[in-house]
A and B are shown apart, each in its own frame.
Chain A
Amino acid sequence: ELKVEQNPLFLSMQEGKNYTIYCNYSTTSDRLYWYRQDPGKSLESLFVLLSNGAVKQEGRLMASLDTKARLSTLHITAAVHDLSATYFCAVSAYSGAGSYQLTFGKGTKLSVIP
């Protein structure tokens, strides 16, 4: 059974600071996704990482994937209040019949304090 662990689960950071969220997973996978969720809202896709060494950046967020270490990171640079949300990583595993199933981490609730 695929397990996905995120840490930290809660993160309170000051505006302007940098921090990294970690996502470890238990079995081989070469597809990893990062989503953002605002309270009571849906999940918004942030990054899709498809290969070892993949790095993607959008604004103050940068995601990377190390498939050998089974680790993805989401790095936040110079945080601003608008980044306050819950961030989920999800790992894709083949579930047969040409289908892939996503297993989500528990999410990291990020609060950016002025």
Chain B
Amino acid sequence: DSGVTQTPKHLITATGQRVTLRCSPRSGDLSVYWYQQSLDQGLQFLIQYYNGEERAKGNILERFSAQQFPDLHSELNLSSLELGDSALYFCASSVRPSGALNSYEQYFGPGTRLTVT
């Protein structure tokens, strides 16, 4: 158990709908990352937040957005869903750089499996 939690575990919805995925990072971790894993695209970085602020963007579609709240949990919002959005969505968290060499190791949550029908 990595200490990162994600809800829901599974989500089935129809095309055109909007869903929200939730992530709570490990206690003390300030950075949250979102990834999408699909058979054809592999594991792709979507977006990173650090202490409430967006820090880096990867291959995130404009229909997708995210935020990190003051309690450090994060939500990924997916709208106007298409069949191709069906995937496993992972959240990961990492510790804040402490000045010493930091591994920036990311700890992954269990994932949310999204199925768009």
Task: Please list the residues of chain A having a beta carbon within 8 angstroms of any beta carbon in chain B.
Answer: 31, 33, 35, 40-45, 48, 50, 88, 92, 95-104, 106-107
Contacts and interface: CB of A to CB of B under 8 A. Distances in A.
Contact of B56 (A44, A50, A95): A95
B56 A31 contact: no
B interface, by DSSP: helix, strand, loop or mixed?
A: strand
A88 B37 CA distance: 12
Contacts of B107: 45
A96 B57 CA distance: 11
B56 A88 contact: no
Contact of B58 (A35, A97, A100, A101): A101
Interface of B: 2, 31, 33, 42-45, 48, 50, 55-56, 58, 90, 92, 97, 101, 103-111, 113
Contacts of A107: 42-43
Nearest to A103: B45
B104 A100 contact: yes
B12 to A, nearest CB: 15
Contacts of A33: 105-106
Given A100-B104, A102-B45, A41 B56 contact: no
26 contacts: A31-B103, A31-B104, A33-B105, A33-B106, A35-B108, A40-B113, A42-B2, A43-B43, A43-B108, A44-B108, A45-B107, A48-B103, A50-B101, A50-B103, A88-B43, A96-B56, A97-B56, A99-B50, A99-B56, A101-B48, A101-B56, A101-B58, A102-B33, A104-B44, A106-B42, A107-B42
